[in-house]
Amino acid sequence: MNEAIPAAGKAVRQRLLVLYLGNASPDSPVVAWANYDGTGWPVDEAGECEQPPYPTALAAMRDGWRIVGFPPIHEPLPGREYETGHLHNEFILERLETVDVA
């Protein structure tokens, strides 16, 4: 990871890996994921990959990703305890990469 001031013709860009886990603990299994890559790679489309990039958020941390978004434990509204909706347990991880710029 390079967070020093980049050299001329270089810039630091952020890559985000968003992992949705089976429960609120970072060592629980990944059930969904997305990549948002500020270095210029196109955004993935739905259903592009069969296997998660890491089995857990903790495994991603051990590979150099830094957690920048740690989800609160989901607290349902009273009376809506049995409803399901969006995916909870959204862990946002980042890597900073130095890229060439014009």
Partner 1 sequence: MSPRDHLLSSKDMARFVAQGFLRFDELIPKDLCAEAIELFDRNAIQRVKYDHRPLYDCWPGLALREVFALPRVRGIVESLVGPEPQHDHYAIHTVAPQTKKGPNLHQDAEYDVRFEHFDVQVSIFFHDTPREMGGTLFVPGSHFRRVHESQIGRYHNIVGQVPTVCKAGTFVVWHHNLWHAGRSNRTDTMRYMFKVRINPTVKQLRLWDTADLHDPEIEKILGTGQPWYGQEGRLETMNRIRLWRALTGDPSFDIHTWLGRIENRPERIAEETLAAV
Binding positions for partner 1, rule: CB under 8 A? 18, 20-23, 28-35, 42-50, 52, 82-87, 89
Closer residue to partner 1, CB minimum distance, 87 or 101: 87
Cα 75 from Cα 64, distance rounded (Å): 30
Which distant-in-sequence residues (6+ apart) come within 8 Å of 68 by Cβ?
16, 92, 93, 94
Minimum Å distance from CB 45 to partner 1?
A: 5
Minimum Å distance from CB 9 to partner 1?
A: 30
Decide if 56 contacts 22 (C-beta within 8 A).
no
Minimum Å distance from CB 78 to partner 1?
A: 15
